[in-house]
């Protein structure tokens, strides 16, 4: 089982290395948007209530999660490619356990997510973001990175397994984009207004962002924030995991 | 017969909406046999193979492969079979050797064994030189051979080949045939292969089933099936406009069989002895003969007799 | 070679039809800017209180120009994509072999693009006005907005056509997408640069898109102003003619091939 997971994941890694344009894209967008956002909305921070007075601190964790999420849907793209060229059938015909197929596919995306988010973090530090809470902060930040990557891969895979059609692919980023941006991605709850505030209050991504942002907030890591964030993260990952898993079970239909 | 046959299929059906792609199929393949599944495009060959290889759940019916049920014991089936699907399912960005290695890992072949086996298989299918090239650079024939090698890495007892030679040039085709025969002989591997080519079924298979519209319409040894047809086929080229007149003139000599345009084909009762009679009958009717041939019963005739149609891509008079 | 209006009309009709028949190509260029506007206005409504923010009745009103700019920039690349598809599929050669004038080929397509861009701007204006956007410049303000949108759409389309003719590759045309993205974000479209300050203010001030946005925005949230209107029109017209020029050069290069 372990070996087959490594085998399937290894293929994802080989793919990433041999198609660098994909990796470049998934690094480019979050870093690019980070730089744009900290310039464009630099003045917004003066409204207060962000938990930090540095716009760089505010946006770094979000952009890392965004990069990780988009790296995750890459798994959906490559699986839909595998389905269309028949390679996925080969996996399904092998005696490898179905869970290994799922986990192995996601693993490739996870490595990419870690790489992308670390590049974003480095760019953030270069542009002046300053971590506030040491190792624990980073630990929870990367927990959120891994979780969001898992969640978005499962989202994309659940769709791919069900529809077996590349035309479904545009839905991957749309779903991720919607989920991320209707949270506290851009501004905290007390700054947002109207429908966004209403949705962001209930969007579990808000809690996950809370977990991730502890590393760069003035107050640092608090157990309340950590627990809320972990519960939300678990909720997201488990429900989307179930979505992907049931899709895979239905694949043979 | 015993249920221990490597492939045993009972009332197997698969529907897509209202379409019965596979309609109540029964068959049994004995150990060590090469079984040919012959049928035109859309007959239901791939759908059957996908069910037998656990890639698709049957709508109804049962199938056992290598002694295991394809639904309830799918995992055991997967351990026992090798499969090369119709469109060589290969990831173009990997190299041949990498794909072989991955396949070995997926089937739980030990690393040491996998190394030895990979080299042996690459040698066998003639891909040694190209094994470190990316598959994207392979020709169609090379891909099929790699596919075959991949399907063999875990030494399966039952091998499924879905149209292994469709689209290949004649040389690559006969090379693949040789390989399948060798496998079957050396290791006693049971092979189920689907094909649209009569010649392929005839040359390779110990037994064949002809499938059309989701149903098996004939089943047996090629020789037996051909014998059952009895009379040889006479094919006479008379030109487009004279076909019906010729048919009329020849009614007494035997039943009409499907043929190419501009020709008339007939199951000539009494065989060669009556060739002269046929010529005479046409001459009397004032119909000019451009070409004439008499062939012993072929699978083409078997197919035609069973379905009332010619098989697309058949070898005999397939070239105009 | 005479370029007839019937020919331009035929090619324009074909390009408009092509757009309408491919909803996956234009739905995003309508939906995405609208969603982004809904999102930004809910997120940044309170920033109107920051000193230095222009006097405006709502953030949606502030964003009308940005929404139009964004939609037109993304929607109009399809002209270039279509040209590249036509070249890849050999359809373009058939056009060249027909007695239709070479210029009609380019102008027909651009006429379609300009028309679609203006229609898109009108649609966005109507929709956003339901949610609090204003058109203080009245009918003439609206007319200038549509004119600027048309020129800008034509400019982007002509640029994309240039790339399409040069490369004959759909991918190459789409490859410029992130650059347009960057240009829009690095302008005064989404937030007043004077509040952001720093490098951003500098970059936004030299971005020609800012001139267009500021001109249009003035007509939307303040009122009619000839100088503002003229500056927006002039910049968009200059872009338009420059890229029409490059597309004609690319066309003659392609024909000589
Ligand atoms: N996934 C599917 N969905 C719907 N129809 C299918 C599907 N797969 C095959 N079919 C239909 O089932 C019939 C048999 O197809 P197939 O088994 O691929 O035939 P063959 O392999 O003999 O050419 C065809 O009519 C085909 O269109
Ligand atoms: Mg088939």
What was the pLDDT predicted at C90? 74
Residue nearest (by alpha carbon) to ligand 1 atom 20: B42
Instruction: Tell whether C26 is within 8 A of chain A (Cβ).
Output: no
What was the pLDDT predicted at B318? 36
Residue B256: partners with Cβ closer than 8 Å, 6 or more residues away? B247, B264, B265, B266, B267
pLDDT of B304 above 50: yes
Residue written as token pair 């994909």: A22
Instruction: Tell whether A169 is within 8 A of chain B (Cβ).
Output: no
Highest-pLDDT range among A97-101, B224-228, B280-284, C118-122: C118-122
What was the pLDDT predicted at B316? 42
**How does pLDDT run across B120-149, given as a tens digit for each residue?**
999 988 898 999 999 989 988 888 889 999
Instruction: Tell me which of B256 and A141 has the higher pLDDT.
Output: A141
**How does pLDDT run across B40-88, given as a tens digit for each residue?**
999 999 999 999 999 999 999 999 999 999 999 999 999 999 999 877 7
Q: Of A92-106, A186-200, B7-21, C89-103, give the lowest mean pLDDT range.
A: C89-103
Tell me, in angstroms, the distance from the centre of ligand 1 to residue B209's CA.
18
Supply the DSSP symbol for B285: T
Instruction: Return the exposure string of A88-107: e unless at least 16 CB atoms fall within 10 Å of the residue's CB, then b.
Output: bbbbbbbbbebebbbbbbbb
pLDDT of A4 above 60: yes
What was the pLDDT predicted at C32? 87
Q: Report the neighbours of C using a cutoff of 3 or more CB pairs below 8 angstroms.
A: A
Q: What is the mean pLDDT of chain C?
A: 87
What does DSSP say about strands B190-195 and B158-162: parallel, antiparallel, or unpaired? parallel
Residue nearest (by alpha carbon) to ligand 1 atom 21: B46
Could C198 and A40 be called an inter-chain contact, meaning their C-beta atoms sit closer than 8 Å? no
Measured on CA atoms in the order C6, C12, C15, C16, is the torsion positive or negative? negative
Q: Which atom of ligand 1 is nearest to the CA of B163?
A: 21
> Phi then psi for A114, rounded to 5 degrees?
-65, -40
pLDDT of B226 above 60: yes
Q: How many helices (H) and strands (E) does chain A have?
A: 10, 0
pLDDT of A141 above 90: yes
Residue C119: partners with Cβ closer than 8 Å, 6 or more residues away? none
Q: How large is the average pLDDT for residues B87-110?
A: 88
Tell me, in angstroms, the distance from the centre of ligand 1 to residue B300's CA.
23
**How does pLDDT run across C234-244, given as a tens digit for each residue?**
999 999 999 99
Tell me, in angstroms, the distance from the centre of ligand 2 to residue B44's CA.
7
Environment of ion ligand 2 (residues, CB < 5 A): B 45-46, 86
The pLDDT confidence band at residue B312, using thresholds 50, 70 and 90, is low
Contact B289, B236 (CB under 8 A): yes
Instruction: Tell whether A252 is within 8 A of chain B (Cβ).
Output: yes
Interface ipTM: 0.89
- Calculate the alpha carbon distances from C147 to B146, C15, C62, C155 in Å: 61, 20, 19, 12
**How does pLDDT run across A52-92, given as a tens digit for each residue?**
999 999 999 999 999 999 999 999 998 998 888 888 998 99
What is the span of the domain harbouring residue A208?
A: 2-249
pLDDT of A35 above 90: yes
Q: What is the mean pLDDT of chain A?
A: 93
What was the pLDDT predicted at C254? 81
- Calculate the alpha carbon distances from B91 to B75, B94, B123, B135, B293 in Å: 23, 6, 21, 7, 48
What was the pLDDT predicted at A157? 96
Q: How large is the average pLDDT for residues A223-229?
A: 95
Q: What is the mean pLDDT of chain B?
A: 88
Residue nearest (by alpha carbon) to ligand 1 atom 25: B42
Q: Which atom of ligand 1 is nearest to the CA of B43?
A: 22
Which mutation among B14, B17, B19 tests ligand 1's pocket best, with the greatest number of atoms within 8 A of CB?
A: B19
Mutate to test the interface with B, among A15, A23, A94 (most CBs of B within 10 A): A94
Instruction: Tell whether C185 is within 8 A of chain A (Cβ).
Output: yes
Q: Which chain A residue shows the shortest CA-CA distance from B86?
A: A86
Q: Tell me which residue in A39, A41, A196 faces C42 most closely, judged by beta carbons.
A: A196
The pLDDT confidence band at residue C2, using thresholds 50, 70 and 90, is low
Residue nearest (by alpha carbon) to ligand 1 atom 11: B21
Length, in residues, of chain C: 257
pLDDT of B310 above 60: yes
The pLDDT confidence band at residue B320, using thresholds 50, 70 and 90, is very low
pLDDT of C82 above 50: yes
The count of domains in chain A is 1
Between CA C157 and CA C172 the distance in angstroms is: 14
The pLDDT confidence band at residue C60, using thresholds 50, 70 and 90, is very high
What was the pLDDT predicted at A66? 96
Could A41 and C198 be called an inter-chain contact, meaning their C-beta atoms sit closer than 8 Å? no
Which mutation among B15, B42, B86, B164 tests ligand 1's pocket best, with the greatest number of atoms within 8 A of CB?
A: B42
Between CA C83 and CA C110 the distance in angstroms is: 11
**How does pLDDT run across C128-144, given as a tens digit for each residue?**
999 999 999 999 999 99
What was the pLDDT predicted at C25? 66
- Residue C228, both tokens: 């503002």
Instruction: Tell whether A246 is within 8 A of chain B (Cβ).
Output: no
Instruction: Return the exposure string of B252-290: e unless at least 16 CB atoms fall within 10 Å of the residue's CB, then b.
Output: ebbeebbbeebbbbbbbeeeeebbeebeebbeeeebeee
What is the span of the domain harbouring residue C216?
A: 5-256
What was the pLDDT predicted at B314? 45
Instruction: Tell whether A41 is within 8 A of chain C (Cβ).
Output: yes
A chain contacts of residue C43, beta-carbon cutoff 8 Å: 186-187, 191-193, 196
Instruction: Tell whether C50 is within 8 A of chain A (Cβ).
Output: yes
Instruction: Tell whether C25 is within 8 A of chain A (Cβ).
Output: no
Residue nearest (by alpha carbon) to ligand 1 atom 16: B44
What was the pLDDT predicted at B27? 93
Which mutation among B17, B37, B44 tests ligand 1's pocket best, with the greatest number of atoms within 8 A of CB?
A: B44
The count of domains in chain C is 1
Q: How large is the average pLDDT for residues A34-58?
A: 94
What was the pLDDT predicted at B168? 84
- To the nearest 5 percent, what fractions of chain A are helix, strand and coil? 80, 0, 20
**How does pLDDT run across B230-257, given as a tens digit for each residue?**
888 899 998 888 888 888 888 888 888 8
**How does pLDDT run across A187-206, given as a tens digit for each residue?**
999 999 999 999 999 999 99
Residue A243: partners with Cβ closer than 8 Å, 6 or more residues away? A154, A155, A158
Q: Which chain A residue shows the shortest CA-CA distance from C183?
A: A36
Q: Where are the alpha helices (DSSP H) in chain B?
A: 45-52, 74-80, 96-106, 111-124, 140-152, 170-187, 198-204, 222-229, 243-250, 275-284, 299-307
Q: Tell me which residue in C42, C196, C199 faces A193 most closely, judged by beta carbons.
A: C42
Relative to the alpha carbon of B45, which ligand is closest? 1
Could B55 and A95 be called an inter-chain contact, meaning their C-beta atoms sit closer than 8 Å? no
pLDDT of C44 above 90: yes
Nearest C-alpha of chain C: how many angstroms from A172? 14
**How does pLDDT run across C152-201, given as a tens digit for each residue?**
999 999 998 898 888 888 788 888 878 888 899 999 999 999 999 899 99
pTM of the model as a whole: 0.84
**How does pLDDT run across B257-273, given as a tens digit for each residue?**
888 888 888 888 888 88
Residues with CB under 6 A from ligand 1: B 16, 19, 21, 39, 41-47
pLDDT of B319 above 60: no
The pLDDT confidence band at residue B37, using thresholds 50, 70 and 90, is very high
What was the pLDDT predicted at B172? 85
């Amino acid at each position: 089982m372990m070996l087959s997971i490594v085998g399937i994941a290894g293929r994802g890694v080989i793919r990433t290395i041999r198609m660098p344009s994909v990796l470049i894209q998934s690094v480019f967008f979050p870093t690019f948007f980070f730089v744009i956002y900290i310039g464009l909305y630099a003045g917004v921070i003066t409204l207060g209530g962000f938990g930090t007075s540095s716009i760089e601190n505010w946006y770094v964790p979000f952009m890392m999660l965004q990069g990780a999420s988009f790296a995750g849907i890459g798994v959906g793209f490559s699986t839909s490619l595998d389905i269309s060229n028949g390679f996925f059938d080969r996996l399904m015909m092998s005696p490898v356990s179905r869970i290994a197929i799922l986990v192995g596919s996601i693993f490739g995306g996870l490595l990419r997510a870690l790489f992308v988010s670390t590049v974003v973090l480095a760019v953030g530090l270069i542009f002046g973001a300053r971590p506030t809470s040491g190792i624990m902060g980073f630990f929870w930040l990367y927990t959120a990175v891994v979780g969001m990557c898992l969640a978005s891969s499962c989202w994309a895979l659940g769709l791919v397994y069900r529809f077996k059609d590349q035309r479904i692919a545009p839905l991957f980023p749309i779903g991720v984009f919607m989920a991320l941006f209707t949270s506290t991605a851009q501004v905290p709850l007390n700054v947002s207004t109207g429908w966004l505030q209403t949705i962001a209050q209930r969007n579990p991504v808000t809690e996950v962002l809370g977990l991730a942002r502890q590393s760069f907030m003035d107050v640092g890591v608090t157990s309340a924030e950590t627990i809320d964030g972990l519960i939300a993260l678990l909720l997201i990952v488990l429900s989307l995991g179930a979505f992907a898993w049931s899709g895979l079970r239905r694949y043979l239909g | 017969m015993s249920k221990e046959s490597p492939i045993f299929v009972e009332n197997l059906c698969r529907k897509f909406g209202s379409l019965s792609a596979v309609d109540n199929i029964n068959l049994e393949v004995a150990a060590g046999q090469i079984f040919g599944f012959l049928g035109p495009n859309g007959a239901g060959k791939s759908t059957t193979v996908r069910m037998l290889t656990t890639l698709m759940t049957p709508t109804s019916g049962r199938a056992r492969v290598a002694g295991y049920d394809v639904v309830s014991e799918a995992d055991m089936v997967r351990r026992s079979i090798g499969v090369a699907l119709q469109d060589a399912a290969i990831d173009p960005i990997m190299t041949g050797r990498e794909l072989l290695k991955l396949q070995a890992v997926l089937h739980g072949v030990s690393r040491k064994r996998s190394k030895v086996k990979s080299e042996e298989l690459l040698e066998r299918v003639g891909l040694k030189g190209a094994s470190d090239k990316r598959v994207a650079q392979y020709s169609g024939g090379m891909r099929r051979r790699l596919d075959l090698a991949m399907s063999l890495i875990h030494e399966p007892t039952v091998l499924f080949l879905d149209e292994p030679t469709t689209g290949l040039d004649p040389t690559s085709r006969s090379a693949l045939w040789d390989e399948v025969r060798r496998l079957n002989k050396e290791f006693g591997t049971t092979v189920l292969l689907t094909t649209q080519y009569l010649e392929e079924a005839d040359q390779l298979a110990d037994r064949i089933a002809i499938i059309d519209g989701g149903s098996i319409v004939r089943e047996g040894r090629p020789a037996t099936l051909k014998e059952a047809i009895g009379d040889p086929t006479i094919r006479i080229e008379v030109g487009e406009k004279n076909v019906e007149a010729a048919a009329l003139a020849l009614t007494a000599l035997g039943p009409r069989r499907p043929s190419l345009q501009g020709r008339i084909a007939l199951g000539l009762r009494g065989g060669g002895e009556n060739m002269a009679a046929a010529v005479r009958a046409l001459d009397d009717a004032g119909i000019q003969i451009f070409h004439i041939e008499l062939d012993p019963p072929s699978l083409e005739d078997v197919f035609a007799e069973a379905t009332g149609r010619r098989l697309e891509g058949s070898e005999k008079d397939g070239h105009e | 070679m005479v370029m007839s209006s019937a020919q331009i009309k035929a090619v324009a009709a074909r390009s408009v039809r092509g757009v309408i028949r491919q909803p996956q190509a234009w739905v995003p260029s309508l939906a995405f800017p609208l969603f982004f506007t809904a999102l930004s206005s809910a997120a940044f409504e309170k920033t109107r209180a920051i000193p230095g923010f222009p006097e405006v009745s709502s953030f949606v009103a502030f964003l009308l120009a940005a929404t139009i700019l964004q939609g037109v920039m993304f929607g109009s690349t399809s002209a270039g994509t279509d040209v590249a598809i036509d070249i890849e599929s050999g359809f373009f050669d058939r056009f060249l072999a027909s007695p239709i004038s070479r210029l009609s080929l380019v102008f027909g397509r651009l006429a379609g693009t300009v028309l679609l861009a203006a229609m898109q701007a009108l649609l966005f204006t109507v929709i956003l006005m339901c949610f609090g956007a204003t058109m203080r410049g009245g009918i003439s303000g609206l007319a200038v907005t549509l004119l600027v949108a048309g020129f800008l759409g034509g400019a982007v389309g002509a640029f994309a056509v240039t790339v399409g003719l040069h490369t004959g590759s759909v991918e190459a045309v789409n490859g410029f997408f992130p650059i347009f993205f960057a240009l829009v974000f690095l302008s005064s479209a989404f937030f007043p640069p004077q509040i952001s300050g720093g490098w951003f203010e500098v970059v936004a001030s030299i971005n020609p898109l800012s001139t267009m946005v500021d001109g249009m925005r003035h007509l939307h949230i303040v009122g009619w102003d000839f100088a503002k209107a003229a500056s927006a029109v002039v910049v968009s017209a200059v872009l338009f003619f420059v890229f029409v020029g490059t597309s004609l050069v690319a066309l003659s290069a392609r024909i000589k091939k």
